A = this chain, B = another copy of it.
């Protein structure tokens, strides 16, 4: 039976706290070191290495978490038989807080760990491309770009706006959703109808 001893529980707590804090710290500054993360988690650097043998392990674990959460939302949304644009709106709405939390991964995709992250993010990219492809095939989305690239750019914009939401609170999820719909080729009137007129 999966009954945890008190020791194991407190170990998982610190481990989880490190992961959570790492997301914050790295979100603030992607170049933050293990020391910064440790301090922010109220722990010594050595302890972090006790849980994650290397920095790459930490990043990888973070990425795996993100992939799990996003694919969860994405498969659910993709399973429905609603129109592709409506599915996209629902996806953005549900993934928004997640995207905001894991925004650091977008920055980390370039440089050192880019390859590892990119590899793990593969499933997400595929599901996303599938959704966009479906929209293109049903003439809901425009076809000025291949589905693979269009999906990347569109959710890249959503991430970017989720990111700028940190410094500059102006845009918000609604504006980001509209923007992504527009670049997917959805007419403005339809886009506004989909996200609600803001009332």
Which A residues lie at the B interface, using CB under 8 A?
Answer: 30-31, 107, 110-112, 142, 144-146, 149-150, 152-153, 156-157, 160-161, 164, 168, 170-171, 175, 178-179, 182-185, 187-188
Contacts and interface: CB of A to CB of B under 8 A. Distances in A.
A114 to B, nearest CB: 10
Contacts of A30: 110-111
A170 B185 contact: no
A36 to B, nearest CB: 14
Nearest to A150: B179
Given A145-B179, A182-B185, A160 B171 contact: no
List 4 tightest A-B contacts by C-beta distance, closest first. Answer: A183-B183, A144-B178, A182-B183, A145-B175
Given A149-B164, A188-B185, A144 B31 contact: no
Contacts of A184: 182
A183 B170 contact: no
Nearest to A161: B153
10 contacts: A31-B112, A142-B178, A144-B175, A149-B170, A153-B157, A153-B161, A153-B179, A156-B157, A156-B160, A187-B187
